[in-house]
Chain A
Amino acid sequence: MATVRLSFSPAPVHVRTARLVGVAVARRAGVREDLLDEVRLAIGEACTRAVALHRQYHVPDPVLVEMSDAGSYSVRVVDRAPIEAGIGLAALDADQLAAESLDEDDLTTGVGFALLAGFVEDLQVRPVEEGVGTEVRMVWPVGR
């Protein structure tokens, strides 16, 4: 059972709201203060990815964010885009990042995954159990 559930139409303007709510619930759950910047960034990246996919595939459904503090602080960000889920994107190295051939969207996607993988120790990206879409699940320890 999620402690807090938030769904928002897939527009960039709402990603900030999701970040703010996610950090507020994390603080309330007892996540260490020095981790909150990382929580904020990771939730933002997961929501940004979901919004980008909904817009790319013209999916008007809302993006779902579920936050739960049962034992640890876990956040699920669920999109409904018809793609193969997976975290198999390799991190881009410096030469690839600077390459003229890499367009901004691809670079942003690669950098977004690098940030998620770099800031979230317990990260899973997998297909949703029902219907189409992907779930990004992130877990942080709580200090209690």
Chain B
Amino acid sequence: MELSLATRAVGEHTVLEVGGEVDVYTAPRLRERLLELIDGGARYVVVDLGRVDFLDSTGLGVLVGALKRLRSVGGSFALVCDKEPLLKIFRITALDQVFPLYPTVDAAIGADPTGAGA
């Protein structure tokens, strides 16, 4: 399945819904969209991986890049993921200790330590 990207605003947060396969071929499009959002002023970004059915190291690298970029400008970055196969990927790579991971978008926004929670 091809990569799908859809953006919506929830209060001060920007939610990027990602679907399909995020791999070495499609990850550059995800990187480009995240950079567009951040360069366009988005500071509280939630990436919803709920419809992702494949995620590889290239996609993980893009997500870490966005996390670092947002932190450097005082923003926040969170991931929404409740699928066990994807969660296992985060555990094996130790990235579960790097990303704030939430089961739902509401939980991610409600827990935002920046105080920008809706």
Give A contacts to B, CB under 8 Å.
12-13, 15-16, 19, 37, 40-41, 44-45, 48, 51-52, 91-94, 97-98, 100, 104-105, 107-109, 111-112, 114-115, 118-119
- Least Cβ distance of B51 to chain A in Å? 16
Q: Which single member of A12, A44, A48, A94 contacts B97 (CB below 8 Å)?
A: A94
Given A97-B64, A107-B61, A112-B57, A44 contacting B94 (CB threshold 8 A): no
- Apart from A12-B24, A40-B54, A45-B57, what 9 extra A-B contacts exist at CB < 8 Å? A48-B56, A97-B64, A97-B93, A97-B95, A107-B64, A108-B60, A109-B57, A112-B56, A115-B89
Q: Does B87 contact A (CB under 8 A)?
A: no
Contact between chains at B61 and A114 (CB < 8 Å): no
Main secondary structure of the interface of B (DSSP, over half): helix
Question: Can you spell out 8 A-B residue pairs with CB atoms less than 8 angstroms apart?
Answer: A12-B24, A44-B24, A45-B56, A45-B57, A91-B94, A104-B62, A115-B56, A115-B92
- Least Cβ distance of B26 to chain A in Å? 9
For residue A45, which residues in chain B have a CB less than 8 angstroms away from its CB?
A: 56-57
Contact between chains at A13 and B97 (CB < 8 Å): no
For residue B89, which residues in chain A have a CB less than 8 angstroms away from its CB?
A: 41, 115
Given A15-B24, A94-B94, A94-B98, A108 contacting B57 (CB threshold 8 A): yes
